[in-house]
Structure 1
Amino acid sequence: MGLRCPRSSAVPEPPRAGVFPPSAVGRRPAPQRLAEARGGSGGAAAGQGRAMQAAARRVACAVSGGVDSAVAALLLRRRGYQVTGIFMKNWDPLDEQGACSVDRDCEDAYRVCQKLDIPFHQVSYVKEYWNEVFSNLLKEYELGRTPNPDIVCNKHIKFNYFLHYAMDNLGADAIATGHYARTSLEDEEVFQQKHIKRPQRLFRNRFEVRNTVKLLQGADLFKDQTFFLSQISQDALRKTIFPLGDLTKSFVKKIAAEHGLHHVLKKKESMGVCFIGERNFENFLLEYLEPQPGNFVSIEDKKVMGTHKGWFLYTIGQRARLGGLKDAWFVVDKDVSTGDIFVAPSRDHPALYRDLLRTNRVHWIAEEPPAELVRDKMMDCHFRFRHQMALVPCVLTLNQDGSVWVTLVKPARAITPGQFAVFYKGDECLGSGKILRMGPSVYAMQQGKNREEGPKKEEVDKIEPAT
């Protein structure tokens, strides 16, 4: 029989500072940090001093029931902090028909806290998640866009409601998550930051926030998760520790194995929607949105290729399910006004490639906007709109409303409205903006060029040959 996840807070005695060998506080050179992650410690006197200093620091660590958050809590515990594990329940499995793993994840998170001998709390943000994340997701799909709920969830739930709960209700000095990311602050600097409730404004005062904190890519560039953190506030970043920032995923798994966290180590990594999990997404969406039947239309000759149940079930770049055809066709565009989904007979069809897009008002993490962009109205940087896609060189052009035009050095495949364009300079994540408009595709440009060249050829044919 599985463990029952407690519905109310279970708060055992605060952890004793000496249960795990404490490590030094702050970001040390990578070899030293890796050695400390394995369990090495410095001199006995130095270690004892650090333990006494760290014991007064209270950290609320988000625990999800996965290996990353489990190891994050373990590393914080070993540094000697008073760690509390907090599981966020943000989806009610009774709301719909599909299976939801939230109860099992809660049990796994509770077992991690038991193993580490730290307090465990469960908090519910089901209403907040519905109002500020899921409703937004449905609205975006209805508009023909493809949203990214993980980015929105981090902004509104983990780094807003969870942050304030930890600070105001638990008296935490900092929060921590299992994201593969880093900041420009050492741990000790995080504890020195004041937690200030700032009024919500459309614009951030450029001169109000001094010594801004930068969001930096994790050491494991393949697992780097700054993409999902690109909308969080400066206030949240100042109070956040990312214990896995200097580690690789393989090393995190080794730490979990060495410390007996086998029940989370063998779990399959979640790839579904934030807090909702993996499921048949078409059936899931059709529980909330009315079917909107329409046609699949060839982008080349406008021939009807088949029918679909709704434009919101397809995103640009994905394979279209067309019965009776030998070759694969791919979604290249959508027309919400007619319900048509345009398809092309190749995964790399030129209709899938574009080199221009426009965002909504960009959320800049450290400097709003960057001084170079303000001064020159243009700025070179890199961007991606999908996690783990290769960074693409681009030029940003600043608009008066705070949005930007993004011009790519070379066309990218399947740029998708509703996704976030996330910007980078070196290893710094600058921020992100939602993609609202796209420039013409390479195919449209080719067709336009052909039309322009057509009349010229006819005129040439009319010229009488010289005698």
Structure 2
Amino acid sequence: RVVLALSGGVDSAVAAALLQETYGSSNNSDIGSAVLQTVHMSNWNSNTQDDDSIASCTSEQDWKDATAVAEHLRLNLTRQHFEREYWNQVFEPYVNDILRGTMGNPDIGCNVHVKFGALREFADWVLRWGWDQPPSPHYSHHNHQYQTPPPLLLAAADPSKDQSYFLSACAGYQLSNVLFPLGEYYKKENPSNDGKPTVRQLAKDYNLPNANKRESMGICFVGKRQSGFGDFLHEYLPHPLRPLQFVDVDTGAVLPAPTPKNAHAVLYTIGQGAKISGASEKYFVVDSDVAQNRVLVCAGTHHPALYADSLVLETVYWTAGEMPGPLQKRGRLRLQCRIRHLQPLIDCELRVELDGSLTVYFDKAVRGITPGQTAAFYALDGLLCLGGGPIERR
């Protein structure tokens, strides 16, 4: 049996159509007997967890779109709620990390704990579907050819849509027997001239009811907020004990800070722009002091304070379940690193320290290294994702 998470977006709809061609339609009342089963996950309840009307409408529209796709393809669809799991294992830890001064990545946490955690457990134990090859609409590529335990996580054919960074913290067992139907497809334009249609073209060819739907934006399952993401997070953060200060890292001068709506230093990440009233040049965030509610800023996007040539990780989640053999044997290994989604890969050397931590030394200084964000590691010129972990410090 095969189970697909059907979000209501174009990607999962095309994934469903491709799988239907392989496994056939399964529109019958017996969920347990369906070869291809689709599940729509509801992980955020805007009616109880916040009052954003845009998010609430978007969530219901996604369900309607998923239903329309399932009916069009004659597939069974069930709606399951994972709000508790998302809140306890993804969103609340994300907010707690922010309060500690680190900016994590909830999309990565969602993959680990919900999409490849709670959903998989739900399918395995609650409905006893016995997943054989649970697919995901993510743009990645799983190598089944060699049947190597644990599995290999490969980058997608379309570099602009590759999702391997967001899957870098998943354990090998979570990715075992997983299909990535879109891994070999381009989303909008295919530069390879191999004649393979794009995902958008396939959506039209299959006459999918959501073929022209725009891509979703914003945090995983929370979506785009009417008031802006910063104001949305303020609903879940305690009021700061001190007024926000912007301090010039070179002169120590206190600069004009934003309005109270953006009065939390924890929400400013290294490298992002800082709006300084009356400034003749652009300022950027260098660091933040959560206890003092103070943000250090610098003038100019290429200021040396924005760059670092190394970072440290206390924990790394290797897809294979353990660090690569050469790294275990020699204590160092040349790889490539990515510290943000779709950022260009950076050549680096990994070194295992005596305390078990991992230091990453870059061949050239890197801008905007942010504690809490994930550093993902790649081999074979970015084809193979080996794993990743949260940045402890730079």
**Counterpart of 1:433?**
389
Which residue number corresponds to residue 119 of structure 2? Answer: 162
Greater helix content:
1
Higher relative contact order (CA 8 A, sep 6+): 2
Aligned twin of 2:290: 336
Return structure 1 stretches of 4+ with deviation > 4 angstroms: none
CA contact (8 A) 2:266 2:290 kept: no
Residue of 315, 333, 340 corresponding to 1:379: 333
Is contact 1:167–1:174 with CA below 8 Å preserved after alignment? no
Report whether the alignment pairs 1:241 with 2:241. no
Summarize deviations over 1:74-109 as a string: whole Å, max 9, x none: 101101252111111000111112231211111111
Q: Paired residue for 1:77, among 7, 16, 20? A: 20
> What amino acid is aligned across from residue 89 of structure 1 in structure 2?
S
User: Are 1:259 and 2:206 an aligned pair?
Assistant: yes
Distance in 1 separating the partners of 2:171 and 2:311: 24
Alignment partner of 1:241: what SS? coil
CA distance in 2 between counterparts of 1:110 and 1:104 reads 10
Amino acid at match of 1:405: T
Check the 8 A contact 1:331/1:343 in 2, yes or no: yes
Q: What is aligned with 2:165?
A: 227
TM norm structure 2: 0.88
Helix, strand or coil: the match of 2:386? Answer: strand
Identify the residue that residue 144 of structure 1 maps to in structure 2: 101
Size of the aligned set, in residue pairs, is: 359
Q: Using a 3 Å threshold, how does the CA distance of structure 1 residues 221 and 116 change in structure 2: closer, same or farther?
A: same
Counterpart check, 1:277 vs 2:202: no
Q: Are residue 175 (structure 1) and residue 134 (structure 2) matched?
A: yes
Q: In structure 2, what residue type is equivalent to 1:171?
A: G
Checking the alignment, whether the CA contact within 8 Å between 1:364 and 1:432 is kept in structure 2 is yes
**Matched residues in 1 for 2:211 and 2:124: separation?**
30
Flag the 1:365–1:421 CA change in 2: closer, same or farther, 3 A.
same
Is residue 266–residue 288 contact of structure 2 (8 Å, CA) maintained in 1?
A: no
Displacement of 1:400 after TM fit? Answer: 4.9
**Given that residues 322 and 329 in structure 1 are in contact (C-alpha distance below 8 angstroms), is that contact kept between their aligned partners in structure 2?**
yes
Mapped to 1, the partners of 2:352 and 2:63 lie a distance apart of 44
Matched, 1:104 2:72: no
- How far residue 267 of structure 1 moved from its aligned partner, in angstroms, is 2.0
Is 1:132 aligned to residue 89 of structure 2?
Answer: yes
Structure 2 gaps of 5+ residues are 25-34, 189-197
Once residues 160 and 404 of structure 1 are traced to their aligned partners in structure 2, the CA distance between those partners, rounded to angstroms, is 26
Conserved 8 A contact 1:333-1:341: yes
- In 1, are the aligned partners of 2:158 and 2:186 still within 8 Å (CA)? yes
TM-fit CA distance, 1:347: 1.4
Contact preservation (8 Å) 2:8, 2:69: yes
Question: What is the letter of the counterpart of residue 204 of structure 2?
Answer: A
What is the CA-CA distance between 1:264 and the residue it aligns to? Answer: 2.3
Q: Which residue of 2 aligns with 1:450?
A: none
| Residues 403 and 433 in structure 1, CA contact (< 8 A), matched pair in contact too | no
CA distance in 1, matches of 2:364, 2:224: 34
Tell me the SS of whatever aligns to 1:436.
coil
Once residues 403 and 116 of structure 1 are traced to their aligned partners in structure 2, the CA distance between those partners, rounded to angstroms, is: 49
Contact 2:335/2:378, CA 8 A, preserved across alignment: yes
Superposed displacement of residue 367, structure 1: 4.8
Structure number with bigger Rg: 1
The correspondence for 1:346, drawn from 295, 300, 303, is 300
Aligned to 1:91: 44
Aligned partner of residue 391 in structure 2, secondary structure: strand
Q: Is the 8 A contact 1:361 1:401 kept in 2?
A: no
Deviation track 1:353-376 (CA, whole Å, cap 9, x = no partner) reads: 111110121000025111000001
Cα distance change of structure 1 residues 114 and 318 upon mapping to structure 2, 3 Å threshold: same
Separation in 1, partners of 2:68, 2:361: 49
Unaligned 5+ runs, structure 1: 1-57, 190-209, 439-467
Query: 1:306, CA displacement in angstroms?
Result: 2.0
